[in-house]
Chains A and B, each alone.
Chain A
Amino acid sequence: MSFLIQSGFLQSGPVQHALIVGGIAAVVAAVVGVPTLIRGQAFASDALAHVSTAGGALAPLIGVNALTGFVLMALAAGGMLEAVPVRDRAERDLLTGIVLGAGLGLAALFLSLGVTLPGASGATVGVLFGSVFLLGADDLVPALTAGGLALVLLMAFLRPILLAALDPDLARVSGVRLRLTGAVHLACLTLAVGLAAMTVGAILSTALIVTPAATAIALTARPGQSLLVAAGLGLAGTWGGLLIAYDSYVWTNGHAWPASFCIVTALCVLHFGLTGGLSLLRHLRGGKVRR
C-alpha cells in the first residue's frame, strides 16, 4: 500500500490544494463535457481551450489571476462563436477554426512576451501544461466560485440544452430560447475550460472535458446518469493522476512525471479499459448488455 500511496501525500499542503482545485475542475469539466459532446461541440471545446492559452499567458503580464485570464479569453472567443450567426455544423466548424487560429496567434505573442520582457515570469510551461502542485489557498475561492456557477447554470438549462441538441426547430416550437440556451452552454464551457487549464494546462484541458464525458456516454444511455458517471470518472482520473505524479517522484529518484501527463493518462486508461471491457462483455453475451 505504501508503494501506491507514498508517505506524506495527504499531509502535503500543495497536494491538498491540488486535490481540491483539481477535483473541482475535474467534476465541472466532465459534467459540462456531456452536453458539449451531445451538441457536437467537441471541436469548439478544444478551440476554446487552446484560445484560453492566450489569456493564461496574458494574466502574469498584467498581474491578474491565471484563472481569470483563462476564463476571460475563453469567454471572448466563446462570445464570438455565439454572436456570429451560422446555418449548420459545417459553418460553425469553419468559424471555430478561424477563431482558433486568431487565438493561437495571440497566445504566441503573449507567451513570447512572457519570456522576453524584462522581469517576465516565464510561466509558459505552467500555462501550456499546467502547474497543479503550485496552486495555493488563494486559488480555492475563485475555483469554487467558477465551478459552482458553471454547475448551477448547466443544471438549470440542461433540459433546454438537450432539446436544442435534438433539433433546433423542435426546441424553438416548444418555447426554448435558442440563443440564450447556446450562450449559457458556452458560458459553462468557458468556465470549465478555465478550470481545466489551471489543472492540466491549456493544451491538455480538452482531455478533462472530452474523455470522461465520452466514457460516460458510452457506458450509460440515461442523460442524468451520464453526468454523474462523467463526474466520477473525471474525479477518479484526476485524483489518480495526482497520486501517480506524487509517487513518481519516489519511483524515479526525483525525476517526477508532470501531473498533467499522469492525469490525462489515467483518464485515457479509464476510457479504454471501461469501454473495451463493455465491448468484451457485450461480445461474450451476444450483444445483449443493456447500457
Chain B
Amino acid sequence: MRDLPEAPPLAVEDLTISHRGRPILDGVSFALNRGELCGLIGANGSGKTTLLRAILGLARPDGGQIRFGGGRRGRIGYLPQKVHVDAYMPLRARDVVALGLDGHRIGLPLPSAQRQARVAAALDAVSAEGFADQRVGTLSGGQQQRVFIAHALVRAPDVLLLDEPLASLDPSIAAEIAALLRRISQQMGIAVLLSAHEVNTLVPVMDKVIYLANRHAVAGPVAEVIRSDVLSRLYGHHIDVLNVHGRILVVTAPDAGAGTAHVTLLP
C-alpha cells in the first residue's frame, strides 16, 4: 500500500474577504509546503495583512477554505507588523520568548529545566543569546525582530506568518533577517509566509511568491509570477517588469488606472 502524500501545512482555497461591504480579496488560492519560504507581495492596501489575519482566525472570510496540515490553527507562529515595546518595560528578551511558550496559560510558571531549554534553543536559533538578558525595549529594530521570531518559533510551529517583518529595517539588516528566515524554514522544516511591499530583499531567499493586486493573487516561483504578461493580467492593464542592475522594478503607465498609476516595488 502506497503512503498518501503529506498534506501541506497551509492551504488556502478560493478565499474571499470583504470589509464593510468593500471586497478586499477574491478567489485567492495557494498552498505552502514544509521548509518553503514564501513572500506575500503587494502594494500597501492590497490585502496582505487581511489575508494573514484570516489565516490566523482574526478576520472572518466570506467564502473559501483555509486548511492546516496538522489540523489545528495552534501550530502557527506569528509576528505582527509592529510590536511597540516601551524601553522601560521590565521584560528581557528571554521573557518575551518564554511568553511565546506559555504566556497564554493561567497560573504561575513553575521553574523547569525543560522550559528554560526550549527558550534557550529558540534564542539560539535566531542568534539572540548575546542580548537575551537585556530589556527588549532597549534593543535595536533588528535585534527585536530576532527576539519576536524566537517568540514565534518557541512552540515549534508548522507555519510561521510574519507581517512586514523587514519594513522598518535598514537594507543590510533586512537582508540578514531574510537569510535567517530562509535558514529557519529549511533547517526546521517550517512553512514560512512573510508579507512585504518590497520584493528585492526576498528574491534571493524565496521559494515561492504570492503576488496580490486588484483583490486577486498569483502564486508560484518568482520567475513565473513576476513577469510582464502575468502581472498585466493580474492588474488588468499593461505592466512592465524591468531588471535594473539585478534588481526588479515593476512599473505601469501613469494613466493606467486609479490606485495603480505607478507601482514600484523598489525603494
Contacts and interface: CB of A to CB of B under 8 A. Distances in A.
A290 B135 CA distance: 10
Contact of B90 (A38, A172, A175): A38
Contacts of A170: 78, 80, 83, 151
Nearest to B109: A159
Interface string B97-111: 001101111111100
B4 interface: no
Interface string B22-61: 0000000000000000000000000000000000111000
B99 A166 contact: yes
Contacts of B90: 34, 38, 216-217, 220-223, 225-226
A225 B91 CA distance: 10
A166 B95 CA distance: 11
A163 B88 contact: no
Contacts of A169: 56, 58, 78, 80
Contact of A38 (B80, B83, B89): B89
Contacts of B103: 159-160, 162-163, 171, 174, 176
B92 interface: yes
Contacts of A222: 90, 92, 95
A171 B104 contact: yes
Contacts of B109: 159
Contacts of B57: 173
A218 B90 CA distance: 8
B80 A167 contact: yes
A290 B56 CA distance: 38
A155 interface: yes
B interface, over-half SS? loop
B176 interface: no
B70 to A, nearest CB: 15
A67 B74 CA distance: 43
Contacts of A250: none
A151 B108 CA distance: 12
Interface in A195-216: 216
A226 B135 CA distance: 13
Interface residues of B, number: 31
A interface, over-half SS? helix
Interface string A86-118: 000000000000000000000000000000000
A166 B96 contact: yes
A156 B85 contact: no
Interface in A135-175: 155-160, 162-163, 165-167, 169-175
Interface range, A side: 20 to 34
Residue from A38, A157, A221, A226 having most chain B Cβ neighbours under 10 A: A221
B104 A175 contact: yes
Given A156-B106, A160-B104, A166 B58 contact: no
Contacts of B107: 156
Interface in B150-179: 151
B91 A163 contact: no
Contacts of A173: 56-58, 76, 78
A174 B74 CA distance: 7
A162 B80 contact: no
Contacts of A290: 133
Nearest to A216: B90
A291 to B, nearest CB: 8
Interface of A: 34, 38, 40, 155-160, 162-163, 165-167, 169-176, 216-218, 220-223, 225-226, 290-291
14 contacts: A38-B89, A38-B90, A40-B86, A156-B107, A159-B104, A163-B99, A173-B57, A173-B76, A175-B104, A176-B104, A217-B89, A220-B90, A222-B90, A222-B95
Interface of B: 56-58, 74, 76, 78, 80, 83, 85-86, 88-92, 95-96, 99-100, 102-109, 133-135, 151
Given A176-B104, A221-B91, 14 more contacts: A38-B91, A156-B108, A159-B109, A166-B83, A166-B96, A167-B80, A169-B58, A169-B78, A170-B80, A175-B74, A217-B89, A221-B92, A221-B133, A221-B135
